[in-house]
Amino acid sequence: MIRKVRSHPTQNEDVIFERSSPGKIGYQLPPLDVPEVDPAAALGNEHVRASIDGFPEVSEVEVIRHFTRLSTWNYAIDLGLYPLGSCTMKYNPRINEAVARLEGLAWAHPYQPENLSQGAMEVCARLEEALCEITGLDAITLQPAAGAHGELTGILLVRAFLESQGNARRKVLVPDSAHGTNPATAATAGYAIHNIASNEHGMIDLAQLAAVVDEDVAALMVTNPNTLGVFEANIVKIAEILHAKGALVYMDGANMNALAGMARPGDFGVDVMHLNLHKTFSTPHGGGGPGGGPVAVRKHLEPFLPTPRLARSAGAFTWDYDRPQSIGRMRAYYGNFGVLVRALAYILAHGGPGLRNATVDAVLNANYLRHKLAPHFDLPYDGPNMHEVVFSDERQSAKGVRTGDIAKRLIDYGFHPYTVSFPLIVHGALMIEPTETESKQELDLFIDAMISIAKEIEQDPQMVLQSPHTTRTSRVDEVTAARKPILRWR
């Protein structure tokens, strides 16, 4: 029985181009206070375009309605639990949005003189300090725009460091449970990928690892806790094995929400890692971005960090461009500054003890879900879990219902689905991460829904296979979308 939602009318809305009619306007500019200039004369006829074919012409009220209506077609954290495994969809505090819009921050130009930028630079400095303390590492760059960008930065750091040692090496080891960005990144950095299989506990197998680590290995990219939500219990030994051969340990920090305040990668052998500010540190996902992917390193990698580096001189902040060993720039300017502001606001709100409490609640929520759902769904790895838990659809698939179908049915129950079919090492994975900002009431409703769906699958699998049944848009034909791509309106 569905307790979380009821049906209600939501407004239809055309693609904006279909609302457009010639002459409608949604803007007004101030009167020009200088002489007009004829574009053709100033730029040359051949450079001046005709009017933009098909561009919309609508009024302000239509724009407000267009987006307000579209917004009602979305699910969001503000509406309820968003248990996407590996995505850490937690509450995005509103104060963070407010401070990021303060004129002095939002309108600061990256090239304005440093003596007029000290406030913005202090944001960077305080965030760097806090993140170094949280990761237990020595230095950090805030440049990377997201996790994958941080990964690339990190692997380039590894490469530059090893090069400085005389040999960049050829291989990067990636566990089969890793996120797709890990191998993609290593490849982009010019490394060959060597996949390593997880053991029956979903962890890296020490013996197997020892067997493959040699002087040709540049680094291991490990996610800890890994994508099964399992902490790599042997992480210290793992690091020793790599270090013994002069290889480095890169940690994908996407799952730091399980560790903040409890354990620090710098304390368990990690040389370099990225953080996802848009996960652990609550900056909003915004339908896919923006993010922030700071990369923290041990001292020996510091000289290679991207330019510029934030520095202090004569009591003032300054950007240091004189970094001979640096890998260079990873992007223009200094990073996704607006995201950094939000992340700092989040850290200040929680403080040290608060971050730890948040971690406890995140792990508590995930374990609570595991205990309540374990009787109904297959647990391929039934060891203790941290911030997320991964089930498989083994039992349900016996009835022909796959994880993707269970996900769609969850929508009818008023929830956003968990992460479907990842990690790849679990056949038919249901990857569930509640985060700490979910109440017991919300989790209990989710548990009821999952159990109810399990029962439905016993009784009427067909109904589940055709779900969702209550959404304004029923199941979408993704196959045709890929076969005959229509990527723009005409």
Partner 1 sequence: MRYLPKSDAERQEMLAACGLTSAEALFAQIPAEARLQRPLDLAAGISEYEIADYFKSLAVKNAGALPSFLGAGVYRHYRPVVVDAVVSRGEFLTSYTPYQSEISQGTLMTIFEFQTMICQLTGMDAANASMYDGSTAVPEAAMMAARITGRRGALVARSVHPEYREVLRTYARYQNLPVEEFGYDAQSGQIDFTDLDAKLNAEIACVILQSPNFFGIVEDARKAAELAHSKGALLIFTFSEAVSLGILEPPNADIVAGELQSFAISPSYGGPFAGVIATKEKFVRQLPGRLVGQTSDTNGNRAFCLTLATREQHIRREKSTSNICTNQALIALMATVFLELYGKQGLRELATQNLAKAHYLGSLTRPRFTGPYFNEFVARPPAEPAEVNRRLLDRSIVGGLPLERFYPELAGTMLLCATEMTKRADMDLVAEALA
Distances (CA, A) of 431 to 188, 277, 357: 27, 21, 23
Q: Is residue 287 within the footprint of partner 1 (CB under 8 A)? A: yes
CB within 8 Å of 403: residues ≥ 6 apart: 392, 393, 396, 420, 421, 428, 429, 430
Q: Which does 11 bind (CB under 5 to 8 A by kind): partner 1, a second copy, ligand PLP, none?
A: a second copy
Separation of alpha carbons 220 and 230, rounded Å: 17
* Separation of CA 173 from chain center: 22
Q: In the set 11, 60, 167, 325, which binds partner 1 (CB under 8 A)?
A: 60
Of residues 235 through 274, those in contact with ligand PLP by CB under 6 A are 252, 254
Asked whether position 316 contacts partner 1 by CB under 8 A, the answer is: no
Compute CA distances 317 → 99, 110, 125, 309, 413, whole Å.
21, 14, 8, 10, 52
Mark the segment that binds partner 1 (CB under 8 A) among 144-152, 215-223, 297-305, 453-461. 144-152
| Cα–Cα distance, 137 to 294 (Å, whole number) | 12
Q: Which of helix, strand or coil describes residue 275? A: strand
Among 117, 135, 141, 181, binds ligand PLP (CB under 6 A): 181
* Contact status: 319 vs a second copy (CB under 8 A): no
In the stretch 228-257, what mask flags binding to partner 1 with x, by CB under 8 A?
--xx-x-xx---------------------
* CA–CA dist 46, 463 (Å, integer): 61
- Is residue 8 part of the contact set for a second copy (CB under 8 A)? yes
d(CA 96, CA 339): 9
Helix (H) or strand (E) holding 419: strand 419-420
Binding track over 377-416 against a second copy, x by CB under 8 A: ----------------------------------xx-x--
Spatial contact of 407 and 428, defined as CB atoms under 8 Å apart: no
Least Cα distance to 89 among 100, 98, 78 occurs for 78
Closest to ligand PLP by CB, 184 vs 212, is: 184
User: Which 3 state secondary structure label does DSSP give 158?
Assistant: helix
Instruction: Quote the CA–CA distance of 286 and 283 in Å, as a whole number.
Output: 9
Instruction: Give the whole-angstrom CA distance, residue 249 versus residue 238.
Output: 9
Among ligand PLP, partner 1, a second copy, none, what does residue 482 contact (CB within 5–8 Å per kind)?
partner 1
Q: Which is nearer to a second copy, 7 or 199 (CB)?
A: 7
3-state secondary structure of 415: coil
Among 121, 127, 140, 148, binds ligand PLP (CB under 6 A): 148
223 binds ligand PLP (CB under 6 A): yes
Selected from 96, 198, 276, 282, the binder of ligand PLP by CB under 6 A is: 276
> By CB under 6 A, is residue 291 in contact with ligand PLP?
yes
Residue type, 228: L
Q: Which of residues 61-80 bind partner 1 (CB under 8 A)?
A: 61-64, 66-68, 70-79
Task: Please state the length of the chain.
Answer: 490
When asked if residue 202 is in the footprint of ligand PLP (CB under 6 A), the reply is: no
Among 197, 211, 398, 481, binds partner 1 (CB under 8 A): 481
b/e sequence 192-205, b meaning 16+ C-beta within 10 Å: ebbebebeeebbbb
Name which of residues 445 to 474 contact partner 1 (CB under 8 A): 466, 468, 471-474
* Binding to partner 1, residues 354-413 (CB under 8 A): 354-358, 360-361, 363-365, 367-368, 370-372, 383-384, 386, 407-408, 411
Closest separation in Å from C-beta 55 to ligand PLP: 32
Q: Phi, psi (5° rounding) for residue 318?
A: -150, 155
Euclidean distance between CA atoms 50 and 464, whole angstroms: 52
- From CA 110, how far away is CA 119, in angstroms rounded? 12
- Footprint (CB under 8 A) of partner 1, residues 150-209: 151-152, 156, 159, 179-181, 183-190, 193
**String marking each residue 88-127 x if it binds a second copy according to CB under 8 A:** ---x-xx---------------------------------
Which residue's CB is nearer to a second copy, number 248 or number 411?
411
Query: Which residues of this protein are in contact with a second copy, per CB under 8 A?
Result: 3-12, 19, 59-62, 64-65, 68-69, 72-73, 76, 78-80, 91, 93-94, 411-412, 414, 437, 439, 441, 470-472
